[in-house]
Chain A
Amino acid sequence: MSVLIFTLIVLLGAFLAGFLGSLTGLGGGVIIIPLLTLGLGVDIHYAIGASIISVIATSTGSAAAYVKEGLTNMRIGMFLEIATTVGAILGAVIAVYLNAAYVAVIFGCILIFSSMMTLKKKVDHTTLDYSSKGAKFFKLNGSYPNQGVETPYAVKNVAGGFFMMLFAGTLSGLLGIGSGALKVIAMDNIMRLPFKVSTTTSNFMMGVTAAASAVVYLHRGQIDPGIAMPVCIGVLIGATVGAKVLVKAKTDKLKIVFAVVVTILAIQMIYKGLSGGF
């Protein structure tokens, strides 16, 4: 295949990955990696390097809007970034020593888990119980604009959230994804943040987390300009269009269809990993 044809195919695929990733809330990274490895026969190391770059592009783009709206809790974000950046570097370093087949299998499992999470009904865990000492010390309690009213919220279980973030960061660095699903669990279920705050703050942290592991990948030669270029351009444009459509579209049915497709991709990744295809 010539470089030009390859670039055009990847550009189109990355656009679709970014578009669907933003519509369903899965993110572009988890879709572009199977597409590159299973679809185009690209080595998973290059696919991960390109994907992590696209994670920086999309999360930074949307974080810009959220931060301005005052939804993001920058203190929570910065505090938890200690955990996610340490995790991200740890993950990227583990990836160096781990066999590509294992990476593919872990990737498949996380893919299935993430797609299930997008289908799960969200339960509001917010609280006004200000008893957490950690939250008070780190000034994490806050308020956010909810339908025009500034609504306060309290933060619980700071240590639990921190360790979950360490794990989320490690997977992000290991697999080259944003691991938004895990970040949201840490913040919704463990720390009891409102959805709007947890999703936007997770997005805010993703850029720094991905940058930390991207640097390790860069030094390792996993960021190949020929792949990273079409991937990040395509995913960013796709995600931007997706975010515009999302406001109008009903995504419930789409999410189910998509979860099925993603699960099939995940099983293929696991199968190929176990059968020595990587």
Chain B
Amino acid sequence: MMQETKQITDKDIQSLVGNLLRAGVYISMAIVILGGVIFLFDHGSEKIDYAVFDINKVSLKTVAAIFEEVITFKGVAIVQFGLLMLIFTPIARVIMAVVSFFIEKDYLYVLIGLIVLSIIMISLSGGFAH
């Protein structure tokens, strides 16, 4: 049986995770829309060029580059920043679950969560892109 004294239950984790996911989507989409409007004001009349993939066309390809550029308030940088926040949302969810499982003293799932996180972190460091 569950311990009576346990303060955090699976139900609490569910509610917390649910709220985090929703907030993450709303906030990142708001940033994307803001950046999109600025982007269209600045570049709306230009011609599109997506027929052939060019690995060097997109300049904002790393987390560091996006964070550096976003303060310039260029539309493209803000959109890319919003997309990055969207990518981070499910990752933040894993971090939160790890913390919750730790408080719940379910160490097996703390380990499983950490494995998932490290897989993503290795990818985030650019290890698989080339």
Contact = CB atoms under 8 A, between A and B. Distances in A.
Interface of A: 1-4, 6-7, 40-46, 53, 56-57, 60-61, 63-65, 67-68, 70, 72, 74-75, 78-79, 81-82, 85-86, 89, 92-93, 96, 100, 138-139, 207-208, 210-212, 214-216, 218-230, 232-233, 236
25 contacts: A1-B47, A6-B48, A42-B51, A43-B51, A56-B86, A60-B25, A68-B18, A74-B10, A78-B109, A78-B112, A79-B112, A211-B88, A212-B120, A219-B62, A219-B129, A223-B80, A223-B83, A225-B39, A225-B75, A225-B76, A227-B50, A229-B39, A232-B29, A232-B86, A233-B29
A89 B119 contact: yes
Could you tell me the dominant secondary structure of chain A's interface residues?
A: helix
Nearest to A75: B109
A75 B35 CA distance: 37
Contacts of A40: 50
Interface string B20-38: 0110110001001101100
Interface in B6-25: 10-11, 13-15, 17-19, 21-22, 24-25
Could you tell me the dominant secondary structure of chain B's interface residues?
A: helix
Given A43-B51, A67-B17, A78 B45 contact: no
Contacts of B14: 67-68, 70, 72, 74
A226 B83 CA distance: 12
Interface residues of B, number: 67
Nearest to B116: A81
A89 B61 contact: no
A65 B18 contact: yes
A61 B52 contact: no
A207 B126 CA distance: 19
A137 B83 CA distance: 37
B38 to A, nearest CB: 11
A216 B80 contact: no
Given A63-B21, A75-B109, A229-B32, A53 B47 contact: no
Nearest to A56: B86
Given A43-B52, A53-B83, A208-B94, 15 more contacts: A3-B45, A3-B46, A61-B21, A67-B17, A72-B14, A92-B128, A207-B89, A208-B93, A211-B87, A212-B120, A215-B123, A216-B129, A218-B62, A229-B35, A232-B29
A172 to B, nearest CB: 13
A232 B58 contact: no
B39 A64 contact: no
B62 to A, nearest CB: 7
Contacts of A70: 11, 14
From B48, B55, B120, B126, residue with most partner A Cβ within 10 Å: B48
B120 A208 contact: yes
Nearest to A220: B129
A74 B13 contact: yes
Contacts of B116: 78, 81-82, 85, 208
A3 B53 contact: no
A244 B15 CA distance: 22
Given A64-B25, A82-B115, A219 B48 contact: no
A3 B42 CA distance: 10
